Amino acid sequence: MDIRKRVLVTGGAGFIGSHLCSRLLEDGADVLCVDNFFTGTKDNITDILNDPHFELMRHDVTFPLYVEVDEIYNLACPASPRHYQYDPVQTTKTSVHGAINMLGLAKRTRAKILQASTSEVYGDPEVHPQPETYKGSVNPIGLRACYDEGKRCAETLFFDYWRQHGVGIKVARIFNTYGPNMQPNDGRVISNFVVQALKGKNITVYGNGDQTRSFCYVDDLVEGLLRLMASNEKITGPINLGNPVEFSIRELASKIVTKMGTNSKIVYEDLPMDDPMQRCPDTRLAEKYLGWEPRVGLDEGLEKTISYFRTRS
């Protein structure tokens, strides 16, 4: 009889976490989903709640957790500016105290642990596209710093636990990701545009729309996380996971207007503080060490995402 891996996913009822939990169950794991439901929702995990190999625990990672597991995916942290700026002190605590608590658990149980870091560690980059060797251009006292610097500190803690205690770590730097289970009010650009179009409202573009982003469909991202966790123990990361194909925000808005057949007009407002002008991953390390590259193009991914929001409007 095969022994199932026991896998903990913090933030497991969130957007990416819910997809990861489903995929882990498909792959034969016992999954413990931990979430405090600040941005996560049970709606995201309705389909797996009754799976006998799935367990849900309401818990905040800023407090210690005592469970027995083989692998930990640490995804717990609000990831959109609207949510992480709502309570910036708690956002920093979630990144820093959460990392300390999960690393302590990994140390005790000898579990492998993966940190869901972010492209935000690069700030408003002066190097393009961003390789993992780029150290970033971050404003430590700006409105986004609670998230940017919290995630940077979490990476520091991961590598110190690796060097000092021999904990098996993996660090993924996640770039813009989208797909079903995004929250309609999260303030991310794709969900914003789709929800505005569904309501017949104008599409709000900040700045002149020339700023660029790359968009990775969530199934591709989850595949990258799984491959990183399963990789050779010498591969610690950080490794960028994202789609290296760039689009301007204006181009994205036009695509969504066309696909949805809406009469919404594109309107322009002032750019928020510290909003980066360019954000695009150099994914050569992921290709080299994980054999990973995104497979879902923006057009296909947008159609799936729009379909999801239509069924919930």
CA distance 308 to 218: 13
Provide the greatest CA pair distance for the chain.
60
CA distance 86 to 80: 10
CA distance 66 to 69: 10
Q: Amino acid identity of 74? A: N
Residue among 147, 161, 178, 217 flagged as catalytic? 147
Region of 312 please: left (phi>0), alpha (psi -120 to 50) or beta: alpha
Q: How many helices (H) and strands (E) in the chain?
A: 9, 13
Q: What 8-state DSSP symbol labels residue 197?
A: H
Q: Which helix (H) or strand (E) holds 30?
A: strand 30-35
CA distance 35 to 13: 6
What is the CB neighbour count within 10 angstroms for residue 280?
22
Backbone angles phi, psi at 85, to 5 degrees: -90, -10
Tokens of 195: 């929800």
Do the beta carbons of residue 161 and residue 107 sit within 8 Å?
Answer: yes
Tell me which residue has tokens 């990183």: 228
Is 12 in a helix, a strand, or coil? Answer: coil
289 is known as an active-site residue: no
Q: Is the dihedral of CA 235, 236, 242, 248 positive or negative?
A: negative
List active site positions. 147
